[in-house]
Structure formats: C-alpha cells, structure tokens
Chains A and B, each alone.
Chain A
Amino acid sequence: MRVITVAGPPSVGKTSVVLKTAQALGERAGRIGVVKFDALATSDDAVYARAGLPVVAGLSGGLCPDHFFVSNIDDCLDWARRQGIDLLIAESAGLCNRCSPHLQAALGVCVVDTLSGVHTPRKIGPMLKLADLVVITKGDIVSQAEREVFAFNVQAASPQARLLAFNGITGQGAVELGHHFARAPEVERLEGSRLRFSMPAAVCPYCIGETSIGREHQRGNVRKMPFPEAAP
C-alpha cells in the first residue's frame, strides 16, 4: 500500500487538493482511501464520502491531532487493507505548527496557501520543513509577484522539498500531484518505522485537563517568558 501524509494549517485547501488529485488519478493508482485527523469536529469525512472515497475520521479531542495520528496510524493501515485500499491518504489538521505527522517511510506533503502572507513559511515548523512535496494553493487570487516571493520563502524554509502550485477550485496542478502520489513509497507496516520529527514534550497539567490559572497549578514542564524591561 502507498501511504501519503497531507498536513497543513486549517483551511489552506488540503481537502480540495486531495479530492482533485484523487479525481485526476481515477483508477490509475488503484483504490484510494482517506483518513482524516482533526481535533474537535470535521465534516471532511462527509465530503470525501460524497466523492465516493472510503474514509474514516479520527477526532483527537483534548490531544494534539498529530500525537493522536501517530498512535493510530498503524490501525488505519489495517483498516485500509481490509478495505482493499491501494493508496492511503492521511489528512491532518496541523493545528499547532510544532508537530508534524510526516513519516520516514511515507510520502510527506505539506499544503500552504499564498493568502497566508509571504512571511508565513518561516512560521510553519517541521510539517513544512521536512516535507517531500509542498503544495501551494490559492495562487489564483494573489499577484504573480507574491506567488514568486512566497515560493522563494517556502523553498528557503524547506530546501529539499519539491514545490507545486495547485488551484484547489479548478484542480490545476492535480495531474502533477497525482504523478507524485502514484509513485509514493510502498509501505507494508509502520511498526518500527519512525516519525521524521519528534513531537514536543507535553507533560504539564494543562495537557491533561487542568483549567485553573496560577503558579501553584504550573507543574512539570513549565517555561516562563522573559520580559526585557525598558528603563521607565
């Protein structure tokens, strides 16, 4: 089975990109299935189902969706195998910009949109930095000049990645992305395989449900901000 992780900030166009690419691929890469990871709610599963793609959604609730992803991805592969899926796409919401779902054994795709501003690529962490492919959406509504500056900054943040322009509405770019999807590495099991980047330590009381504010509740892994003071 080929496995592809698709990560990116909310509303950049991940679902649109996956749908258009699946359409462009047709039968060529075999049966395509999707797992969608999100924190609180998602309607993407319905969107994928409407497009005729087998889909499961995982809601991480109080956990970071990427943490939740690693703990469940092997089960997703088992599900996909039972469904006769040849190409499994994992869409994850990438909410914290610090985690990254990309796996050493799978094709890692990061989706970013040009509307987010020319400096944004620097602020997106390992999910961009360690991607194999960076898909850049929404170029249709910004100037050519901004596209070029944006692409330049993406390449600076992620020197090894291939960049690909994509219009999530018309599907321009879907043939190209399909070409890469169809050649994603084959993965049998992920057990023993590794994440490309460690997830951040999450061991403070707030990680596990604490809601009270104040020093006495701040235990475990706590970091305090420095405040440079100007002379009054």
Chain B
Amino acid sequence: MTESPHPAALWPAPSGQSRPDGDEGAVLASLTLLGGHDKDGRPERLHLRLHPGDILCIVGPTGSGKSRLLADLECLAQADTPSGRRVLVNGAAPDADWRFGAHRHLIAQVSQNMNFVVDLTVEAFLALHAACRRVAAPERVAAEVLACANALAGEPFRADTALTQLSGGQSRALMIADTALLSASPVVLIDEIENAGIDRGKALALLTAHDKIVLVSTHDPILALMGGRRLVVGNGAVRAVIETSAAERAFLARLQRLDAELMDIRRRLRAGEAIDGGKAPAWMP
C-alpha cells in the first residue's frame, strides 16, 4: 500500500516549523498505525489507515494492550514505546522537532479516570475554554456545548452548576460535548466510558459529525459494534482488524433495543415503580 503525498494544507504545517498556538488551517488527512511487536517480541502485522470521520473500536481482554495502543497514538510513537509501533501523520513520519513540539493540539482524550477539578461553574468554565480557543461568540458556543452535554447525559444539569458537583455521567457527557465542539484536536481517544451512563451512540455521532477520527477502547459490546472497524488486541498486539458487517449492524440494533429495555427497567426502578412481570419484554425467560 502506498501513502498519498501530502495534501495542500498539512498537519504539521507545510513549513515544518512549529506554529503559533491556534493551529488554524492545519488539516489532518490521515493517521497511519504501523505494527510493532507483541509482549513476547513477535512481530505485529498491521498497516492501518484512519481518516476523519472514522470510528475505530479496540477490544481485547484486560491487560491485552488497549490503553497502550491509545498511548502509542497519543505520543505519535516512532518505534520508541514498549510496543515498537510507529504512527504516520498524513502519510509521513512527523519530524522530531515537530513531534516534540507543536503537536499537542492533534489529539484529545476522554477517559474514565478524568475528572473536572477546577472550582468554577459550568458556564464560567466553558466561556473560559471558548476564550482560549478564540471563538467568535464564546457565550453562544458555551450554551451549545451545554445543550449537547444534556442531550447525552441521563439527568440534565444547569449552566450554574459547579463543575466539581457533576456526577460521573454528567462529567463524561460534558467532556465529550466540549471535545466535539470546542477542542481543536482532530483525533479523539476514548478509553472506557461505558459505565458513565451516557448515550453512547449520540456521543460517537457528535464526535464524527465534527470530522474527527475517533478511537474507542471498550469492553462494551454495543460500543464495540458501533465503529466502522474494530481492532482485536491480545498479548500486546493487534490480532485482527474486523469490518463491522451488515449482519453485525443488524445485531447491534437488536442489542440496542435490549439495552433500551434494560434502561427502561432501570428508570422505572429509580422512579420507585414496581416491576410488573406481565410487562416484561418477549425475549425475557
């Protein structure tokens, strides 16, 4: 497989120099992941190309190397991490000066270990983030982020809520909405957000609607089938790259109905209702 030559506007910038903070005008056309080796040093056969709008899921047992793979992308590994993988940006190895300097706007992350720690209200913080990004109408964008976050979260929250008061799910929802709408990074790495209780389908759709490359490490079957492709990781190496088939997409729809039923039961229990066996869906024993 040959790599296409650099498109007109580049990430890194065509001059190869570090750029001012904004990074406007830089275009990410593709990200390529080249195999290294597994935990026993056996070669990993992998040549994977990702484009804006792609969703790639990463599955595999605990300890198999899903987070390692995300970390390799985060630092644009050049055979210098434990896995020996390499990452190409727009088809070429980023030169050291750029890789070790101005690339920090390339990749954004959302993981289950993250929390909001700053002592501000949601609206004050979003306005601050918008100001840093130099958007034209910070208040409007902040309101948009809040509305998006509320569409993802189970229990809505208000603009004047303290950030540190948000629940786990509300925090994750806000992080995703903010990353989609306010972050300049064209690549988003998501490490295990399944327990957060947010609408996973909407979250991924929101991110890809903004032309991001999204990578999701997950143990959740619904999330795993939502990507266009999934990587199966074992013993530190990618074992297979699987396209999500039409049959799997159909099955995903069934899983989602099942999930909706479960959510509904959860909602009813939370609302203090008794569960009436007669109302149980047909698939239940």
Contacts and interface: CB of A to CB of B under 8 A. Distances in A.
B179 A146 contact: no
29 contacts: A114-B117, A117-B117, A140-B113, A140-B114, A141-B117, A142-B118, A143-B110, A143-B114, A144-B109, A144-B110, A144-B179, A145-B116, A145-B126, A145-B178, A146-B116, A146-B117, A148-B133, A149-B125, A152-B21, A152-B132, A155-B21, A162-B101, A163-B104, A164-B104, A172-B74, A173-B75, A175-B80, A176-B100, A180-B100
Interface of A: 24, 114-115, 117-118, 140-146, 148-149, 151-153, 155, 162-165, 170, 172-173, 175-176, 179-180
B interface residue count range (under 10 / 10 to 19 / 20 to 34 / 35 or more):
35 or more
B113 A175 contact: no
A164 B120 CA distance: 25
B175 A115 contact: no
Nearest to B116: A143
Interface in B52-101: 71, 74-75, 80-81, 96, 99-101
B164 to A, nearest CB: 11
Contacts of B111: 140
A176 B102 CA distance: 12
Nearest to A153: B132
Given A115-B117, A144-B109, A145-B175, 5 more contacts: A117-B119, A144-B108, A151-B104, A164-B104, A165-B104
B242 to A, nearest CB: 28
Contact of A141 (B18, B71, B113, B129): B113
B183 interface: yes
B115 A141 contact: yes
B175 A144 contact: yes
**Nearest 3 interchain pairs by C-beta:** A152-B132, A176-B100, A145-B178
B217 interface: no
Contacts of B218: none
A144 B115 contact: no
Interface string B115-137: 11111100001101100110000
Which of A140, A143, A149, A163 has the most chain B CB atoms inside 10 A of its CB?
A143
B182 interface: yes
Nearest to A162: B101
Contacts of A24: 80
Contact of B129 (A142, A149, A164, A172): A149
Interface string B132-176: 110000000000000000000000000000000000000100110
A146 B117 CA distance: 8
Nearest to B77: A175
